[in-house]
A and B are shown apart, each in its own frame.
Chain A
Amino acid sequence: MPVNFFPAEFEVVRNADKCIKCRACERQCSNEVHYYDADYDKMLSKDSSCVDCQRCVCLCPTGALKIRPNENAFRKSANYTQQLMIENYRQAGTGAVLLSSMGTPKDYPIYWDKILINASQVTNPSIDPLREPMETKVFLGKKPSGIKKNPDGSINTEMTPYLELNTPIMFSAMSYGSISKNAHESLARAATELGTYYNTGEGGLHKDFYKYGPNTIVQVASGRFGVFKDYLDAGAAIEIKMGQGAKPGIGGHLPGAKIREDVSKTRMIPMGTDAISPAPHHDIYSIEDLRQLIFSLKEASEYKKPVIVKIAAVHNVAAIASGIARSGADIIAIDGFRGGTGAAPTRIRDNVGIPIELALAAVDQRLRDEGIRNEVSIVAAGSVRSASDCVKAIALGADAVYIATPTLLAMGCHLCRSCHAGKCNWGIATQRPDLVKRLNPDVGAQRLVNLVHAWDHEIKEIMGGMGINSVESLRGNRLMLRGIGLSQKELDILGILHAGE
């Protein structure tokens, strides 16, 4: 056996006084970490296979298990960290691009945590959301810039197509293929019950889920998987995916092993073939090309559905957004670089793009400056982690937010960041039938509904504290925000004052 250059990342700690050898851990671990040894009459573990997904810990009926980081340490260097060294060992062993999943774990600034929210005192009293109406309904789409009258003098009430959300929270794109059918069903059912939307991602729409169409956003990405007339007709809105926050400038690659029968049918590609989403849309090289696709889709769907253009937050995001606003899109979704992914090259995920907070502020400001803010709604995505992040995003100018990682957490994900291995023990990021069935959509949908209800309550609570009774009144209301520990440049971009000012 060749020299193993790096040790197991995690250590399985089993309390022998508590372990009753029920073997639930063994049966639940798709990485085959746990096993029973008859000679010792003991459960043993193969630590090197553990990804710290916590499934065994959560199911152990006696609380006998703990997974902790392996304390073994390489000689410390702030420059060459242990993680970097291991990555180099790994690449020296395989010659391959490193793959990662979910949002970057790197220690980049999180601006949400450097922004504080205002509250009313004495004047402009706060509102008790339990006693007074509090509106979290929002509409996404073009807003009329003024009153238009018909030739007979009556007011023209015709609207361009829009989405109506009971709460400013939608579920962002995760394709069927990257996540399981049961995860999709959970999202679809929860969105329906909540009066909001989930997003198919680029993997098409399973035939069983057409019934959730009124709460579905169907995505058209560079691979155009599963895109056909019925698909476009099924959704409430169509989203053109230009980029993803976790991997800007990069396409996608779903390995053939995950293209089983149902995925193959839904994506309309042969079974077992790799599903490759090209980095660019091969028909889009300019805003004009984008406009052409937007109108092709509008034409195909008889101008009944709003079109969303989703882009990754990159350096010149404000200018790009301005172009998109002028291209006929109804909604722009901006995805920050800390957002999640089912698989991305590690170096891209950890180094490319910009934070959603700065991108959002810059885009909102630019569109206002250009007088075209009402041409589009803005949806902020890419690590909106809580109700307070949500409130801050809206105050920075978002009409609504997309959340994905929190939805995965609701369904059981413990952010082990091993989605790309396809062996998700929680039945989410996998197509293995024995694992997929671990996510009962009855449970998944219920937990998602609970999560969003809880956030919605919190949003109302925070808004009430500010003396604001509707999301519409909070949107772009940057006076409600203050920065803490930020440089003047950062404050300027965010368009907010420092705490104390």
Chain B
Amino acid sequence: MKRVYVNEDWCLGCHLCEFYCGFANSGETDMAKAYKLDRAAAPRIRVEEGDGINFAVQCRHCTDPLCVKGCIAGALSKTKDGVIEINTDKCVGCYTCVLSCPYGCIVIDPKNNGRTITKCELCTRNSAGEPACAANCPNRAIVFEERGEA
């Protein structure tokens, strides 16, 4: 399946992916409006910053996802396309997925005071078309492509 991949050699640490993610999932058509009116979603991608190194991390959409297996509510599931989705109506915010995810990619959603989690769904449930983080990365450090499965 096509996944988002990150090459830290080219990540600038500009954090624009986070902002484009929040905008893409805001339901708004204007980025400034989304943020000015506090309608932007919590970013599901996060940029780690270190000494001269930066890279973005978001859900890897594992072939064998611990978060889905461990979800106590059946709120996380894998679609037939391989995208791991969260059903926030079912999520009770127990954070077992936060406990499970080896990449630290589950986001405790501050937009509803942590009552649910949120996560990258590869922009399949918004109108961005392709993942907004990859589409808007200024240095092609984030790409959305097929690299083959094991």
Stretch with Cβ within 8 A of A (4 or more), from B28-36, B57-65, B71-79, B117-125: B28-36
* A62 engages B31 (CB within 8 Å): yes
| B12 to chain A: closest residue by CB | A438
Contact of A385 with B by CB under 8 A: no
| A62 to chain B: closest residue by CB | B32
* B19 engages A20 (CB within 8 Å): yes
Stretch with Cβ within 8 A of B (4 or more), from A21-29, A71-79, A471-479, A484-492: A21-29
Identify which of residues 43-70 in chain B touch chain A, using a CB-to-CB cut-off of 8 Å: 52
Q: Within 8 Å CB of A22, what residues of B?
A: 15-16, 19, 35
* B31 engages A20 (CB within 8 Å): yes
Q: Within 8 Å CB of B35, what residues of A?
A: 20-22, 62
Q: Within 8 Å CB of A144, what residues of B?
A: none
Choice from B13, B20, B141 contacting A61 with Cβ under 8 Å: B20
Shortest Cβ distance from residue B8 to the other chain A in the assembled complex, whole angstroms: 9
* B16 engages A17 (CB within 8 Å): no
* B31 engages A27 (CB within 8 Å): no
* B15 engages A23 (CB within 8 Å): yes
Q: Tell me whether A17 and B15 are in contact in the complex, defined as CB-CB below 8 angstroms, given that A438-B139, A440-B141 are known contacts.
A: no
Shortest Cβ distance from residue A453 to the other chain B in the assembled complex, whole angstroms: 19
Shortest Cβ distance from residue B39 to the other chain A in the assembled complex, whole angstroms: 12
Contact of A114 with B by CB under 8 A: no
Shortest Cβ distance from residue A180 to the other chain B in the assembled complex, whole angstroms: 13
Interface centre among A62, A442, A443, by most B CB within 10 Å? A62
Contact of A18 with B by CB under 8 A: yes
* A28 engages B20 (CB within 8 Å): no
| A18 to chain B: closest residue by CB | B32
Cα distance A375–B30 in the bound complex, in angstroms: 63
Cα distance A444–B138 in the bound complex, in angstroms: 12
Q: How large is the interface on A (under 10, 10 to 19, 20 to 34, 35 or more residues)?
A: 20 to 34
**How many inter-chain residue pairs (CB < 8 Å) link A and B?**
58
Cα distance A19–B11 in the bound complex, in angstroms: 23
* A61 engages B140 (CB within 8 Å): no
* A61 engages B16 (CB within 8 Å): yes
Contact of A434 with B by CB under 8 A: yes
| A59 to chain B: closest residue by CB | B138
Contact of B14 with A by CB under 8 A: yes
Q: Within 8 Å CB of A62, what residues of B?
A: 31-32, 35
Residue-by-residue, is A7-44 near B (CB-CB < 8 Å gives 1, otherwise 0)? 00000000001111111100110000000000000000
Q: What is the total number of residues of chain B having a CB less than 8 Å from a CB of chain A?
A: 21
Contact of B96 with A by CB under 8 A: no
* A442 engages B140 (CB within 8 Å): yes
Contact of B89 with A by CB under 8 A: no
Contact of B144 with A by CB under 8 A: no
Contact of B9 with A by CB under 8 A: yes
| A25 to chain B: closest residue by CB | B14
Choice from A17, A23, A58, A438 contacting B36 with Cβ under 8 Å: A17
Contact of B5 with A by CB under 8 A: no
Cα distance A258–B31 in the bound complex, in angstroms: 40
Contact of A437 with B by CB under 8 A: yes
Contact of A433 with B by CB under 8 A: yes
Contact of A64 with B by CB under 8 A: yes
Cα distance A56–B144 in the bound complex, in angstroms: 25
Q: Tell me whether A61 and B31 are in contact in the complex, defined as CB-CB below 8 angstroms, given that A27-B12, A27-B13, A438-B12 are known contacts.
A: yes
* B139 engages A443 (CB within 8 Å): yes
Residue-by-residue, is A141-161 near B (CB-CB < 8 Å gives 1, otherwise 0)? 000000000000000000000
Cα distance A439–B12 in the bound complex, in angstroms: 10
* A24 engages B141 (CB within 8 Å): no
| A58 to chain B: closest residue by CB | B138
Cα distance A22–B52 in the bound complex, in angstroms: 20
Known: A17-B32, A58-B138. 7 other contacts (CB 8 A): A17-B36, A20-B31, A20-B36, A24-B15, A62-B35, A438-B139, A440-B139
Task: Please report A residues at the B interface, Cβ cutoff 8 Å.
Answer: 17-24, 27-28, 58-59, 61-62, 64, 433-434, 437-440, 442-443
Task: Please report B residues at the A interface, Cβ cutoff 8 Å.
Answer: 9-16, 19-20, 23, 31-32, 35-36, 52, 136, 138-141
14 interchain pairs (CB within 8 A)?
A17-B36, A20-B31, A27-B13, A61-B19, A62-B31, A62-B32, A437-B11, A437-B12, A437-B139, A438-B139, A440-B9, A440-B141, A442-B140, A443-B140
